[in-house]
Amino acid sequence: MLWHWLTLSKFFNKIGNYFYSLHVKKVHENQRKEKDMPSGKGSYGSKVGRPPKKKKKMMKKKKK
């Protein structure tokens, strides 16, 4: 009976590994596309439309 469950789990692990490999392949492909795009033109995580960051002002210490 144990042998039956081991062969069955082996089959489902192969299916899971297949879909995981497809996912990883797609993620790498998207990263390569973003790397080749000019800055600010990426599809994910791009900075288009975001306001620029505010610069911090240095505060002078008060003398007592």
pLDDT digits (tens, 9 = 90+) for 28-52: 998 888 877 666 555 555 555 666 6
Contact 40, 47 (CB under 8 A): yes
Q: Please check the confidence at residue 13 and state whether its pLDDT lies above 80.
A: yes
pLDDT higher for 34 or 8? 8
The reported pTM is 0.49
Please give the pLDDT value at position 40.
56
Please give the pLDDT value at position 44.
52
CA R_g for the chain: 25
Q: Which of 31, 29, 50 is nearest to 42 (CA)?
A: 31
